Amino acid sequence: MAVDSKPRLGGWLMVPLAWLIVTLLASTLTMTMYVTALFSHALSDNSPSLPQGLLLQWGASLLTSALVLGYSAWILWIFCKRSQRLPRHYIIWLLLNLVLAIKTFVFSPVSDSLAIRTLLFALLMTSILVPYFKRSQRVKTTFVES
């Protein structure tokens, strides 16, 4: 009987996995809102009268949301496969989320309390999980698949 020598996903690795799943669900919800707006009659009927800058911002937000959704889904895939590429890409993903939270804080027309909460949570998760993924022996022994 073969014994799997690699540690299973568990312990503190459930925290980054949960953060990844929550972000994936939030990205899916955001994409759903953008696609619903795209196919609604309100946008299609009023699109000629909307300012060019607003349509450009809307398109950039749609593209950003699609990229975050795709990258998050791919990272979830390699997380579950225990790929050795995961630690590097998870750190990049965390930093990307932090940059997007800063962009939301600075440019988005959302309430300051919501933007600050989003920014602080992204900063907290990045400040905890980046050192964990860089130094943890558990991470080094779990993510070993090619």
Residue 61 lies in a domain: yes
Residue 53 lies in a domain: yes
pTM reported for the whole predicted model: 0.83
Query: Looking at beta carbons, which pairs linking 71-78 to residues 24 or more positions away fall under 8 Å?
Result: 71/96, 72/20, 72/23, 72/24, 72/27, 73/24, 75/20, 76/20, 76/21, 76/24
Based on the structure, what is the number of domains in the chain?
1
Residue 6 lies in a domain: no
pLDDT level of residue 1 (50, 70, 90 thresholds): very low
More confident residue, 42 or 124: 124
- The Cα-based distances of 65 to 2, 26, 38, 92, 129 in angstroms read 43, 10, 14, 16, 23
- Structural contact between residues 74 and 24, judged by C-beta atoms closer than 8 angstroms: no
Helix (H, G, I), strand (E, B), or coil: what is residue 21?
helix
Residue 107 lies in a domain: yes
